[in-house]
Amino acid sequence: MADRKEQPPTGAEWHALLDEERRAREAARNGDVAVLRKWWGLIEGILQQLAQPDGREPPPRELLLVLSKLAGYLAVGQVPDPVAGVAGRGEKQPGPSERHHIRMAVTYRYAAKVGMIEDKSPVKTIVEAYGLGDRTTLQKWCRLHEPYDLAEYARLPHVITSRMRESGARYKIAGRSQGAISGRGHQ
């Protein structure tokens, strides 16, 4: 799923998002991978919005019951069809944690580009911090992912550097870096 904007939806947008989830859930019953992935992406967006402290109304009881049932299957080690239907097919897309790490790298590069932080070789810095094989991965990330809002870092721009380094260290272990992949092969 593409990264959602940080702005919470209006009341009408919220209801439209919930309606879209209901339609996608119905359509996903046929097991089509693209539709299932769209539905899970909508679920992710809804849950992210619910985590925002803005007094939003709770999701429909119906959606919570569906998620509860899926969690029940997972709790006993069974993979329900809506999960099995999307797992392991097609090009593996980054999950939420990996997307966060990627966006921190993109944010660092953008902050260096606009002069918010000083680094004459931000690409080299990121490639080393993340254990990437070369710059092409970072270039792809910059095309596909938006940086975080730099206004959040305006008063403390050095935080971008420390967060990028933290994300890079985690990505080296759990992401798709050469070291992470080879490390998992020896376990």
CA nearest neighbour of 163 among 93, 90, 111, 113? 111
CB burial of residue 129 (10 Å; 0-12, 13-18, 19+): buried
Token digits of residue 170: 């985690």
What are the tokens at 82? 């809506």
- Looking at residue 1, its pLDDT comes to 43
Q: Kindly report the CA angle at 123 between 122 and 125, in degrees rounded to 5?
A: 60
pLDDT in the model for residue 110:
97
Query: What would the pLDDT profile of 104-141 be if each residue is shown by its tens digit?
Result: 999 999 999 999 999 999 999 999 999 998 899 999 99
Question: Domain segments of the chain: what residues?
Answer: 11-84, 96-185
Task: Assess whether pLDDT exceeds 60 at residue 12.
Answer: yes
State the pLDDT at residue 183.
Answer: 55
Residue 46 pLDDT class (50, 70, 90 cuts): confident
Q: DSSP per residue over 21-62, as a string? A: HHHHHHHGGG--HHHHHHHHHHHHHHHHHHTSSS-PPPPPHH
The pLDDT value given to residue 2: 44
**pLDDT tens-digit readout, 49-99:** 776 666 666 667 788 788 878 877 776 777 888 888 777 656 677 888 889
Q: What is the pLDDT of residue 157?
A: 92
> pLDDT, tens digit, for every residue of 159-177?
999 999 999 998 888 766 5
Buried b (16+ CB within 10 A) or exposed e, 70-95: beeeeeeeeeeebeebbeeeeeeebe
Give the C-alpha distances (Å, rounded to integers) separating 41 from 13, 90, 95, 109.
16, 16, 11, 27
Rounded Cα distance between 177 and 105, Å, is 13
Contact 158, 117 (CB under 8 A): yes
Cα–Cα distance between 158 and 117 in angstroms, integer? 7
> pLDDT digits over 30-40, tens only?
777 788 878 88
